[in-house]
Chains A and B, each alone.
Chain A
Amino acid sequence: MQLEATELTEAEMALQMEVREYLQQRLPAGTYEVGLGMAANNDVEFSKDLGAKGWLGMALPKEYGGGGRTAVERLIVVEELLAVGAPIGFHWVGDRQSGPSIAKHGTEEQKQAFLPGIASGELGFAIGMSEPDSGSDLASLRSRAEKIDGGWRINGTKIWTSGAYQATTILGLFRTSEHKHEGLTQFIIDRNVEGLTISPIPFIDGTRHFCELSFEDVFIPDERRLGEVGGGWAQNTGELVLERGGVDRWMSLMPILEWWAASDAVKNSPGAQADLGAIAARSWAFRGMNLAVARMVDDGKSPVTEAALIKEMATRFEQESLDTVARHYGRAPDLNSDDPHESLLARAILVSPSWSIRGGTNEILRTVIAKGLGK
């Protein structure tokens, strides 16, 4: 395993400054609810504004409204968004993975139908993979798409679908034959399609982004099948690199860390300063790894093992960092506090165990890494 060191070019650094300045104007402190990384609030207007700036769908081809830019440029934008806890919930999944996947595997008609909307912030995607009986073992999926005249009939249940309630579109993985891996196919599904019921599952912190999807004889035209019949598993693996290799995997906590770093509590405590320094050092090291992976993606590689290797330890680091901040806070933070930092810290404490579950559990990632290292 070797990652190549890389740094930002002048042009990339200029982009960083541009995004930073824009966010200062668009999201002045106190005017929005600060969120925890990708689980942040949905704000369709904000998503559209980012789209208008050209900061969504950056890596999508220009002819479909994308930016024709690089994974590194997207990373730069994402870092700044996560650092301020921006309300990115609505566009997150489409921008990060559904868009690139449709660009890669979609038909001409699908690209025209979906990519411009992803790039403009009008379409919000959700990922329909997990099922009540299929979590880590996705090859055991049971929700079924059955071939009928002109399309497919879908039946079954998807669960833990983040943001489905607010999404416009769901990219779902369904069983189309009995083959374990080759029997899976992806479909692009309209959130309002007849026969689909979406029910929120209240999350541990009281939010309602988590959903259950129940499909009853839902008709999906064949034009909405993404890629080949039976190609879903392989397509999904490609998306996982995008899902796992990003800075979003350890930057959920950044708004809290930022606030804590600047607090008097840290200024007055050498012990807290040492903890802050250790967090900064490790963040810097992780950031270099994510940057190296983004350059690999831009070079046309698919760094599956590398992305898993980073995510597995970065999510643990993120949880440990939260413990550190909480320890220095001195008392139990109140979820309903008037101080937005305090309530955000309380929320982070509640949701942090999910960081090493979503996107593939650490146990599964370790198996992926161990296999990849053996090669």
Chain B
Amino acid sequence: MTTTNDHTVDRDLIATVISLFAAKSGHDVVIKAEEEGLLPSLWASVSELGLPLVGIDDTAGGSGGTLLDLLAILHAAGQHAVPLPLSETHLAAWLLSEAGQQVSDGPMTVVPGTPKDTLALTDGVVSGRAYDVPWARGVDRIVALVNDSSGAPYVVTIDPGACEITPGTDLAGQPRDVIEVKDLAVEAVSSPVDRDGLLLRGALVTAAKMAGALETIATLTRGYTEERVQFGRPISKFQAVQQHVVTLFQMATMASLNVSRAGRTAMDGPASFEICALKQVVDKNASIAIRAAHQAHGAFGMTQEYRLQQLTRRLNAWRSEFGDELQLASRIGKAISNAGKLEHVIVGGSAVLEV
């Protein structure tokens, strides 16, 4: 097991990232991305710093850095609603590098894999459809895990130009498409990561983005309630309004701390319990926080012109990605019910029980 010292974050890098996102991903930029899709200049500014490939070993063509660095970057991206496929590019690069492949620059996405998907691999040829693929329009490469006839997982890279893409959008207005390929010859590499491994990694990085968004809606709401005056005083003076702010900080603090915790556990070994618990908690916190933030903002928060919606819509979209509340809770509960040791799992985590 590694020591606590290895669980460090590159603080300088993160500080740079936060100010970059703050400067480059303002309200108008997010609106523009919603209209136009992936903004090449925005991508270029993060790509220059190597951000999309942090957390991928430099020997594989990545930018180096740890999983915790990656999570901190995605947390910051969530804080600023950065309209780029950063976590998607990470997941694609991660699948490739785990399978011994080199990665290169450029936005990528990953096929999350829904029960409806029909993508299948036969003799180096892929056919079928995949649903809910984020950012398929606009990326350079689509990476998918597909099973061969024996059920073994392979990593394949698909050129978006070689697919038929049916555009769709998620709740935040970001691309989420259906792709279809017919008899496409691909290079397929045997993957050490299976579908569940991708789900866990996806849940972890999504939770990091969500925690960031929760932090922002908490500070945004506190600021708003201090400025908005009703009955002759700032509404922040009313206890009932304070409750909403308190709730928001509770949800955000709980989410952010536990992203770091689960990330640290994942660096040391299996973390299926921690990651499922994290995403379950953050999904639940998101639903509570969204309601509290909008309630405290009144009608103003419901408008397109105000920042809040950019974050709450993202939270709503991410809640259902890589496992939702019910699915993750069922998975954890089933495992614990079979093992029959609740407290040991709560304090011992995946070292006691992988779920």
Interface residues of A (CB under 8 A from B): 1-7, 9, 16, 79-80, 83, 254, 257-258, 261-262, 266-267, 270, 272-278, 280-289, 292, 306, 309, 312-313, 363, 366-367, 369-370, 373-374
A276 contacts B333, C-beta separation under 8 Å: yes
Output the nearest chain A residue to B274 by Cβ-Cβ distance: A284
Residue B280 lies at the interface, judged by CB distance under 8 Å to chain A: yes
Q: List 30 A-B contacts (CB under 8 A).
A: A1-B252, A2-B257, A3-B253, A5-B257, A5-B261, A7-B264, A9-B4, A83-B343, A254-B343, A261-B337, A267-B337, A270-B330, A272-B333, A274-B326, A277-B328, A277-B331, A278-B329, A281-B277, A283-B346, A285-B257, A285-B277, A288-B261, A289-B253, A292-B257, A309-B249, A309-B250, A309-B253, A313-B250, A369-B246, A373-B245
Output the nearest chain B residue to A306 by Cβ-Cβ distance: B253
Residue B199 lies at the interface, judged by CB distance under 8 Å to chain A: no
Residue B276 lies at the interface, judged by CB distance under 8 Å to chain A: yes
Contacts of A287 in B (CB 8 A): 346-347
Contact status of A280 and B333, CB under 8 A, knowing A7-B4, A16-B347, A373-B245? yes
Known: A274-B329, A275-B329, A276-B336. 6 other contacts (CB 8 A): A274-B330, A276-B332, A277-B276, A280-B277, A285-B278, A373-B246
Q: What are the interface flags for B335-352 relative to A under an 8 Å C-beta threshold, 1 for contact and 0 otherwise?
A: 011101111011101000
A285 contacts B329, C-beta separation under 8 Å: no
User: Restricting to B314-338, which residues have a CB under 8 Å from any CB of A?
Assistant: 325-326, 328-334, 336-338
A370 contacts B329, C-beta separation under 8 Å: no
Interface centre among A3, A254, A273 (most CB of B within 10 A): A273
Contacts of A83 in B (CB 8 A): 343
Residue B97 lies at the interface, judged by CB distance under 8 Å to chain A: no
Interface centre among B254, B333, B336 (most CB of A within 10 A): B333
* Interface size of B in residues (CB-CB distance below 8 Å): 51
Contacts of B261 in A (CB 8 A): 5, 7, 288
Contact status of A369 and B336, CB under 8 A, knowing A79-B343, A285-B278? no
Output the nearest chain B residue to A76 by Cβ-Cβ distance: B347
B239 contacts A366, C-beta separation under 8 Å: yes
Q: What are the interface flags for B277-316 relative to A under an 8 Å C-beta threshold, 1 for contact and 0 otherwise?
A: 1101100100000000000000000000000000000000
A370 contacts B257, C-beta separation under 8 Å: no
Contacts of A276 in B (CB 8 A): 329, 332-333, 336-337, 342
Contacts of A254 in B (CB 8 A): 342-343
A373 contacts B222, C-beta separation under 8 Å: yes
Contacts of B169 in A (CB 8 A): none
Contacts of A277 in B (CB 8 A): 276, 280, 328-334, 336
CA distance A275 to B261 in the complex (A): 23
CA distance A350 to B354 in the complex (A): 36
CA distance A287 to B273 in the complex (A): 14
B340 contacts A281, C-beta separation under 8 Å: no
Distance between B250 CB and nearest chain A CB, rounded to angstroms: 5
Residue B243 lies at the interface, judged by CB distance under 8 Å to chain A: yes
B253 contacts A280, C-beta separation under 8 Å: no
Contacts of A274 in B (CB 8 A): 326, 329-330, 333
CA distance A2 to B329 in the complex (A): 26
CA distance A99 to B164 in the complex (A): 71
Contact status of A258 and B326, CB under 8 A, knowing A280-B332, A366-B243, A373-B249? no
A280 contacts B342, C-beta separation under 8 Å: yes
A278 contacts B280, C-beta separation under 8 Å: yes
Pick the residue among A7, A258, A292 that contacts B265 (CB under 8 A).
Answer: A7
Distance between B258 CB and nearest chain A CB, rounded to angstroms: 5
B250 contacts A312, C-beta separation under 8 Å: yes
A79 contacts B347, C-beta separation under 8 Å: yes
Pick the residue among B257, B330, B341 that contacts A3 (CB under 8 A).
Answer: B257
CA distance A16 to B348 in the complex (A): 10
A284 contacts B346, C-beta separation under 8 Å: yes
Contacts of A16 in B (CB 8 A): 347
Pick the residue among B249, B265, B278, B340 that contacts A369 (CB under 8 A).
Answer: B249
Task: Sort A-B residue pairs by CB-CB distance and give the 9 closest, nearest first.
Answer: A277-B333, A277-B332, A273-B333, A5-B260, A277-B329, A262-B340, A281-B277, A276-B333, A83-B343
